[in-house]
Amino acid sequence: MPDEPIKTLPLVFDEPRGRKKPPRHLADLSAAERKELVSSLGLPGFRAKQLSTHYFSRLVDDPEQMTDLPAADRATMVESLLPHLMTPLRTMEADKGTTRKTLWKLFDGALVESVLMRYPDRATMCVSSQAGCGMACPFCATGQGGLQRNMSTGEIVEQVVAGARSLARGEVPGGPGRVSNVVFMGMGEPMANYKAVMGAVRRMTDPAPDGLGMSARGITVSTVGLVPRINQLAGEGIPVTLALSLHAPDDELRNELVPINTRWSVHEAVEAAWNYAKVTKRRVSIEYAMMRDINDQAWRADLLGDVLTSYGDWGWVHVNLIPLNPTPGSKWTASRREDEREFVRRLEAKGVPTTVRDTRGSEIDGACGQLAAVDA
Ligand code: SAH
C-alpha cells in the first residue's frame, strides 16, 4: 500500500501546505539511491559508501575528518548529502547523567526533543517523529500544541546518530557504548508520518555501513492505534515491536483519553495489534498510563484482561503500565500505589504479563508525555 494520505482521517493529519521541506540528507536515501545520486554528481559511485561509512559507522559529523575523500569531492558530497539538519539548543540530565534530554531546533525553527536513557545492559534512544502531534490526547503535553509538521527520515535518524555519538565518545557515564534500542515514544504519532518513520526504521536496521545495523527487535513503534497503518506495518517484513497506547479498555473512556478512538474503537485497535502479533510473531505491548480514579479501577483491570485474553492466551501481548507523568495544567494525577498493585494483580490473575514502567527523566520533563519542546 503506498503512503497516500488516509482520506477518512480528520484534518489534523494534513500539514500546512507550501512549507519548505527539510534538506535532503544521506539518511533519507537507500544505499542504491545514494550511489545513483553520487554518480549523477559526476563522482565515482563508491564515494557513496565511503560517505555512509563516515555517517553510520564512524559517526563522524565533521567533514574535515573524512580524509579518505578528496577535498573537492568531499565538498560536493557534504553539500548535497550531509546538510546540517538540527542544532542542539539545550541538554538536560538526570539519573546521574544516564538520562539526557536534548532540545533540537530544526532547519525551519521547529522544536523537537529526544531522550537518551542508559541502563546497565542497554541504551535506549527515545525519538520524536513529528514536531508537535495532532492526536490531542488530553493528558499528554505534546498533544496540547497540535501538529506543526512531520519530520523527515533524516531528522529522525539524526536523533539516533547523535545519541550514538555521545555514547561512542564516552560522554555518558558508564564508558563508551552504543544505542541498542530505539523507541518512537517522543513527540508525535509515528503512524501519522508512516513513510518517513519506515525510512528511519530501514536506515536503523540496514547493515553497516549502509545503515546503523540495529536489530528490528530493538525498535519499538508506539501508536494511538491507526488501524490501517498497523496493518500496513504488519506487512513490511520488519519485525519491530509494536506498542499500542490503549489507556482504557472501554470506548466511552477511551474516546475521551485518546480521541482517535472515535475513528478506530478499542476492539478495532486491539484486533489490529493482535493481528500484528500473529503475523510478525512479536509480542505486542499495550501501554496504559495509570490515572488516579480515571482508568485505574479494579473493574477496568478485569475488563482489560478480558478484552486482551479474548484474542487467546498464547503470549501475544503484555501490558506496560506507565505511572502518569505530570504535565502542566493537567487535572489528572498518577494512581495510588495500592491501586496500581491491585491493577497488576488482576491482570496477572487473568494470565496477562504486566510490568510497570519506570519514570526516568520525569524531573527534567523527559518522561513519556512530557515532551513539549519549549525554548525557554
Ligand atoms: N503517539 C504515540 C507516541 C507517544 S509517547 C503514542 O501515542 O503511542 C509514548 C507513550 O506515552 C504513549 O503511550 C502515550 O500515551 C504516553 N503518555 C503520554 N502522555 C503521558 C503522560 N503524561 N504520562 C504518562 N504517559 C504518557
- 122 with 77, same domain: the answer is no
- Closest atom of ligand 1 to CA, residue 188: 1
Pairing of strands 86-94, 99-106: antiparallel
- 254 with 208, same domain: the answer is yes
Q: Is 126 annotated as a binding residue?
A: no
Q: Residue range 44-70: average pLDDT?
A: 94
Say whether pLDDT at 30 is over 50.
yes
| Cα 353 to Cα 347: distance, rounded to the nearest angstrom | 7
Q: What is the CATH number of the domain that holds 70?
A: 1.10.150.530
Say whether pLDDT at 16 is over 80.
no
Compute the distance from residue 371 Cα to the ligand 1 centre, in Å. Answer: 10
- 61 with 206, same domain: the answer is no
Q: Residue range 214-227: average pLDDT?
A: 98
- 235 with 183, same domain: the answer is yes
| Cα 250 to Cα 268: distance, rounded to the nearest angstrom | 12
Pairing of strands 99-106, 111-118: antiparallel
- 188 with 59, same domain: the answer is no
| Domain housing 61 | 26-81
Residue 77 lies in a domain: yes
Contacting residues for 46 by C-beta, under 8 A, at least 6 apart:
none
Number of structural domains in the chain: 2
Residue 18 lies in a domain: no
Contact 51, 73 (CB under 8 A): no
Residue 91 lies in a domain: no
- 176 with 314, same domain: the answer is yes
Compute the distance from residue 71 Cα to the ligand 1 centre, in Å. Answer: 46
Q: Is 338 a known active-site residue?
A: no
- 34 with 171, same domain: the answer is no
Amino acid of residue 363: E
Residue 182 lies in a domain: yes
Compute the distance from residue 81 Cα to the ligand 1 centre, in Å. Answer: 33
Q: What residues pair up with 150 in beta bridges, in sequence order? A: 130
The three-state secondary structure class of 31 is helix
Q: Is 325 annotated as a binding residue?
A: yes
| Cα 132 to Cα 202: distance, rounded to the nearest angstrom | 23
- Closest atom of ligand 1 to CA, residue 247: 15
Region for residue 154 given its phi and psi (left: phi exceeds 0; alpha: psi -120 to 50; beta: otherwise): alpha
Residue 98 lies in a domain: no
Question: Virtual CA dihedral for 146, 324, 295, 224, nearest 10 degrees?
Answer: 40
- Closest atom of ligand 1 to CA, residue 323: 24
| Rounded percentage of the chain residues whose pLDDT exceeds 90 | 83
Residue 249 lies in a domain: yes
Pairing of strands 219-223, 181-184: parallel
**pLDDT digit string, tens, across residues 223-278:** 999 999 999 999 999 999 999 999 999 999 999 999 999 999 999 999 999 999 99
- 266 with 320, same domain: the answer is yes
Q: Residue range 194-209: average pLDDT?
A: 98
| Cα 261 to Cα 255: distance, rounded to the nearest angstrom | 5
Burial of 302 (0-12, 13-18, 19+ CB in 10 A): middle
- 195 with 341, same domain: the answer is yes
Say whether pLDDT at 43 is over 80.
yes
**pLDDT digit string, tens, across residues 317-375:** 999 999 999 888 788 999 999 999 999 999 999 999 999 998 888 888 888 878 887 77
Contacting residues for 233 by C-beta, under 8 A, at least 6 apart:
191, 194, 198, 221, 240, 242, 276
What pLDDT score does 11 carry?
Answer: 40
Ligand 1 pocket test, candidate residues 151, 222, 229, most atoms within 8 A of CB:
222
- 184 with 66, same domain: the answer is no
- Closest atom of ligand 1 to CA, residue 368: 11
What pLDDT score does 62 carry?
Answer: 86
Residue 253 lies in a domain: yes
Q: What residues pair up with 288 in beta bridges, in sequence order? A: 321
**pLDDT digit string, tens, across residues 90-100:** 999 999 999 99
Q: What is the CATH number of the domain that holds 123?
A: 3.20.20.70
What pLDDT score does 2 carry?
Answer: 45
Q: Residue range 17-22: average pLDDT?
A: 77
- 203 with 57, same domain: the answer is no
What pLDDT score does 359 carry?
Answer: 81
Which band of pLDDT confidence, cut at 50, 70 and 90, is reported for residue 376? low
Any residues with Cβ below 6 Å from ligand 1, and which? 135, 137, 139-140, 185, 189, 222-224, 245, 287, 289, 322, 324-325, 327, 368-369
Residue having the nearest C-alpha atom to atom 13 of ligand 1: 245
Contact 367, 126 (CB under 8 A): no
Q: Is 113 a known active-site residue?
A: yes
Residue 324 lies in a domain: yes
Pairing of strands 181-184, 147-150: unpaired
**pLDDT digit string, tens, across residues 267-318:** 999 999 999 999 999 999 999 999 999 999 999 999 999 999 999 988 999 9
**pLDDT digit string, tens, across residues 157-186:** 999 999 999 999 999 999 999 999 999 999
- 62 with 125, same domain: the answer is no
What pLDDT score does 263 carry?
Answer: 98
Angle between helices 194-205 and 153-168 (to 10 degrees): 40
